[in-house]
Structure 1
Amino acid sequence: MCNICGYDKLSKTCFISDDSEDEIIPTSDNTKLVLNPAEYICANAEYLVNGRNPVTDAQLSASSVYAPHYEANWARLNTTPSLTTVGAWAAAIIDANQYIQVQFNGLSLVTGVALQGRPINTDPSIFTVGCCYQRQPFFGPTDTKTDKVFDGNTDQDTVVTSILPSQVTALCARVNPVAYVTHISLRFDILGCPLN
């Protein structure tokens, strides 16, 4: 059995199902995209958010936003403060359910995540990563499906890179800070290879 995932264009969110491919019922709902498995190897990972072919600001979204100067589009790795931004995303709600998410330019192999703190202070200390398509769960043991928790940053500017235990085929990825100091805010990028 493999998990089937997709992307809902209206709500701009990833979804996951434990249905097998054979159990998927075709739908005429053209707002949802369902992904099929692909077998490729990502040998030369690149940044998928702000690399050679960066995503648009509209492809970045978050569970909540503290204020206009803290929006998801300011969460790109190495963003610096300016008159219009503090240089990072910050959540409006302070709990472990907050996330920032990116919809890739197309189907991609995800191999890791790079994370920085907010340029003014440091926030996430540990986080989880979720992808909206996975052939075999990389989130811990397959029998418990527990999340894989990665160490985050402990300062403002050092890029902390975490490599996933196995690559994941995905259309979008979500970073969920689960521990933080004072407030949830960060800059990030996702490592991987575009498949198109």
Structure 2
Amino acid sequence: MALASFIFALLCVSELSTDKAFSQVAPNAVCSCQEAYTSEDGTTTVVLQLPKTSTAVSTGNKSLSELDKLKQNYQKQAQMLSSQGLLLMQQAKQIQQIELELQDLKLSISKPPADCQDLLVSGNTPISDSQITASSMYNSDHGPAHSRLYTNMDNHIVGSWSARTNDNKQWLQFDFGRVRKLTAILTKGRNQIAQFVKTYQIHYGNNTLLMKGYRDGTGSVKIFQGNIDLDNIHENVLNPPVYARYLRINPLTWYGHISVRADVLGC
């Protein structure tokens, strides 16, 4: 009974992966004996003989123990290939997820959210001139009210706000009247005169005595790139956006003189 079970297990092995091995090691192995079993692979019939006096069956040069080892090797290889396949599938999904996240990040930092890009300084509901203040002004003709983004120079108007002195303590500030969501900063240089701010920082808050700097990923106050000419708008997206009533632009470097026109996108 135990011998028959042993032979049945061997035939199960042949169904999995070793029937080709049998046909390779004993393609013409046909004999008759009291205990004989056959395995059909479609082209070759292999008959295994079990002499009554021996518990080892030989098919050509292969013993049962050798075939069992061969089966185990096949199983290990199959398991390894299956594990590798699952790992590759998981890695492919992870790569796809990373690519989607990168694409989403690029989109999020390239433009403000579609539902929050009103011009808060001079848009459909502009703030008043009194809500635009500055650290100083060159003279009364260069006051902060001239800092609106689309101000152009004519006989009576100077085309920007200009600071009294050129140092990094100067600032231009907007009071939005209430807390707003701020998503981007827009800046220009001085209209018709070669003066513009090249780099700047921003500070924001709900109380002018408690303003805080907008920080980058390292924890340092972020330095924004400003303008390289007079009349082209340069946009810096705030990612993440901030929620504040006041926003202050602090020039760090400039060309010619500290002069700027600006607006803020938000809602």
Query: What TM-score does the superposition give when structure 2 sets the normalisation length?
Result: 0.53
SS in structure 2 of the partner of residue 49 of structure 1: coil
Q: What is the Cα deviation at residue 42 of structure 1?
A: 7.8
Shift of the 42–101 alpha-carbon distance from structure 1 to 2, 3 Å rule, reads farther
Which one has the largest radius of gyration?
2
Higher helix residue share: 2
Quick check: 1:80–1:86 contact (8 Å CA) kept in 2?
yes
Distance 1:114 1:102, change over 3 A: same
- 1:93/1:83 CA distance change after superposition, 3 Å: same
Runs ≥4 residues deviating over 6 A: none
2:172 aligns with one of 100, 113, 126: 100
| Partner of residue 256, structure 2 | 182
Report if the CA contact (8 A) 2:205-2:244 is conserved. Answer: yes
For residue 139 of structure 1, what is the amino acid of its counterpart?
Answer: R
Contact 1:138 1:165 in 2 (8 A): no
- Structure 2 unmatched runs, 5+: 1-112
1:122 matched to 2:195? The reply is yes
CA distance in 1 between counterparts of 2:214 and 2:129 reads 28
Alignment correspondent of 1:110? 182
Distance 2:230 2:150 in 1: 10
User: In the alignment, which residue of structure 1 is the partner of 2:222?
Assistant: 148
Q: Please show how residues 36-55 of structure 1 align to structure 2 within 5 Å.
A: 43-55=115-127
Asked if 1:56 corresponds to 2:56, the answer is no
Structure 1 residue 85: Cα displacement: 2.1
Q: Which residue matches 2:141?
A: 69
Distance change >3 Å, CA 67–CA 137, structure 1 → 2: closer
Matching residue's letter, 1:174:
R
Cα distance, 1:147 vs structure 2: 1.1
Q: For residues 110 and 76 of structure 1, what CA distance do their matches in structure 2 show?
A: 17
- Secondary structure at the aligned position of 1:98 is classed as coil
- How many residue pairs are counted as aligned between the two chains? 150
Identity of aligned residues (%): 31
Contact 1:138/1:166 (8 A) holds in 2: no
Q: Is 1:163–2:227 an aligned residue pair?
A: no
Residues in 1 aligned to 2:126 and 2:213: alpha-carbon distance in whole angstroms: 27
On the 8 A contact 1:87/1:118 being kept in 2, the answer is: yes
Q: Residue type of the partner of 1:103?
A: D
Larger RCO, structure (CA 8 Å, separation 6 or more)? 1
What code does the residue aligned with 1:161 have? E
Q: Which runs of 5+ in 1 are unaligned?
A: 1-40
Q: CA deviation at 1:70?
A: 0.5
The 3 A distance-change label for structure 1 pair 96 and 107 is: same
The answer to whether the 8 A contact 1:97-1:176 is kept is yes
Q: Which secondary structure state, in structure 2, belongs to the residue aligned with residue 74 of structure 1? A: helix
Cα deviation, residue 138, structure 1: 4.2
Which of 169, 172, 176 in structure 1 is aligned with 2:246?
172
State the alpha-carbon separation in 1 of the partners of residues 217 and 226 from structure 2: 21
1:89 touches 1:187 (CA, 8 Å); kept in 2?
yes
2:176 is paired with a residue whose SS is strand
Aligned twin of 1:18 = none
Matches of 2:142 and 2:215, distance apart in 1: 29
Cα deviation, 1:90-110, whole Å, max 9, x if unaligned, reads 000110110100100321001
Question: Cα RMSD between the aligned structures?
Answer: 2.1
